[in-house]
């Protein structure tokens, strides 16, 4: 956990999304939660030394942002699409997937019940806790229910997965055009310190690099479609992006799968077969 301003702490060295917490004059607000249950329990012990956890804010519907909510006793705030997605998650499969992350995880997942958002917003909302102001803004792109969270008094914004800094970008359910608009919305924010969804801390100077990578992916798949490539062929053959960035912590070996998912999603998006009826789900770990 790294302290990045007077009251903002960020974790970006472990498997899962970048998550963090803010210490206010009236308790703690956590932004996203650890993916691994054992990491969630470690963080919980750390927070207990610092004060009462008041709220958890989730920035998106993928499991690496909310799985750990369950290990904390605090109400969760998120975009309404995040709540809907969590409530519709096949928890048996979810638990099996997360249980494969380590030896100690299956036991910690016994009786797992997700702590889904009970306070939701559509376009945005502001939460005041102690002397701190948390501003959530809906910024669809990486997913339809993505949101950024600005902590006004600290000059920090948690951008969520609309920024993958120097690690592979997951576009497996992305709308690339909305994503580019989201990057422009991030550019307009007053906050200068960017906590990306994955990868090291960054700032507005990274927006162009993130945008051009998304554009390149979109054009790459569009070129394949224009040449008459089928979806199956596109998913198999469009591999040139694989080596452009390393995978984030704990995602070793997942690059080929992620590239296939990105190519498939962009193919569907560009051919009008989108949105897919079901959100794409990650493959399950092999049964032991």
Q: Give residues in contact with Zn ion (CB under 5 A).
A: 62, 161
Please report how close the Cβ of residue 142 comes to Zn ion at its closest, in angstroms.
Answer: 6
Please report how close the Cβ of residue 170 comes to Zn ion at its closest, in angstroms.
Answer: 6
Does 275 sit behind a cis peptide bond, omega within 30 degrees of 0 on the bond before it? yes
Nearer to Zn ion (CB atom), residue 127 or residue 282 = 282
CA distance 263 to 161: 18
CA distance 33 to 257: 24
Please report how close the Cβ of residue 256 comes to Zn ion at its closest, in angstroms.
Answer: 18
Please report how close the Cβ of residue 116 comes to Zn ion at its closest, in angstroms.
Answer: 17
Nearer to Zn ion (CB atom), residue 62 or residue 94 = 62
Please report how close the Cβ of residue 7 comes to Zn ion at its closest, in angstroms.
Answer: 26
SS (H, E, C) 142-199: CCCCCEEEEEHHHCEEEEEEEEECCCCCCCCCCCHHHHHHHHHHHHHCCCCEEEEEEC
Nearer to Zn ion (CB atom), residue 24 or residue 39 = 39
Nearer to Zn ion (CB atom), residue 114 or residue 129 = 114
CA distances in angstroms from 69 to 110, 117, 228, listed in the order given: 15, 9, 45
CA distance 26 to 52: 8
Instruction: Tell me if 162 sits within 8 A of 197, measured CB to CB.
Output: yes
Nearer to Zn ion (CB atom), residue 106 or residue 279 = 279
CA distances in angstroms from 133 to 29, 89, 125, 268, 274, listed in the order given: 11, 31, 10, 39, 37
Please report how close the Cβ of residue 223 comes to Zn ion at its closest, in angstroms.
Answer: 26
Nearer to Zn ion (CB atom), residue 62 or residue 83 = 62
Nearer to Zn ion (CB atom), residue 173 or residue 191 = 173
Nearer to Zn ion (CB atom), residue 32 or residue 161 = 161
Please report how close the Cβ of residue 48 comes to Zn ion at its closest, in angstroms.
Answer: 28
Please report how close the Cβ of residue 161 comes to Zn ion at its closest, in angstroms.
Answer: 4
**Closest Cα partner for 274 from 144, 101, 121?**
144
């Amino acid at each position: 956990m790294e302290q990045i301003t007077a009251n903002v702490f960020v974790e970006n060295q472990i498997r899962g999304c970048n998550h963090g917490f803010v210490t206010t004059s009236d308790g703690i607000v956590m932004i996203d939660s650890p993916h691994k249950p054992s990491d969630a329990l470690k963080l919980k012990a750390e927070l207990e030394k610092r004060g009462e956890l008041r709220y958890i804010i989730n920035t998106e519907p993928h499991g690496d942002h909310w799985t750990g909510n369950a290990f904390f006793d605090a109400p969760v705030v998120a975009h309404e699409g995040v709540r809907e997605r969590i409530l519709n998650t096949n928890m048996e499969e979810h638990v099996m997937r997360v249980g494969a992350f380590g030896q100690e995880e299956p036991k910690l997942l016994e009786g797992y019940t997700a702590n889904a958002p009970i306070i939701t917003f559509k376009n945005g909302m502001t939460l005041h806790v102690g002397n701190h102001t948390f501003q959530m803004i809906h910024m669809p792109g990486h997913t339809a229910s993505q949101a950024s969270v600005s902590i006004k008094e600290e000059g920090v914004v948690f951008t969520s997965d609309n920024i993958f800094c120097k690690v592979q970008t997951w576009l497996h359910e992305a709308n690339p055009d909305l994503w580019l608009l989201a990057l422009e919305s991030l550019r307009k924010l007053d906050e200068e310190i960017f906590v990306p969804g994955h990868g090291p801390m960054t700032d507005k100077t990274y927006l162009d690099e993130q945008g051009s990578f998304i554009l390149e992916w979109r054009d790459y798949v569009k070129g394949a479609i224009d040449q008459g490539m089928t979806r199956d062929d596109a998913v198999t053959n469009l591999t040139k992006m694989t080596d452009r960035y390393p995978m984030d912590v704990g995602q070793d070996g997942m690059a080929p799968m992620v590239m296939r998912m990105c190519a498939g999603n962009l193919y569907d998006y560009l051919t009008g077969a989108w949105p897919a009826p079901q959100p794409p789900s990650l493959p399950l770990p092999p049964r032991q």
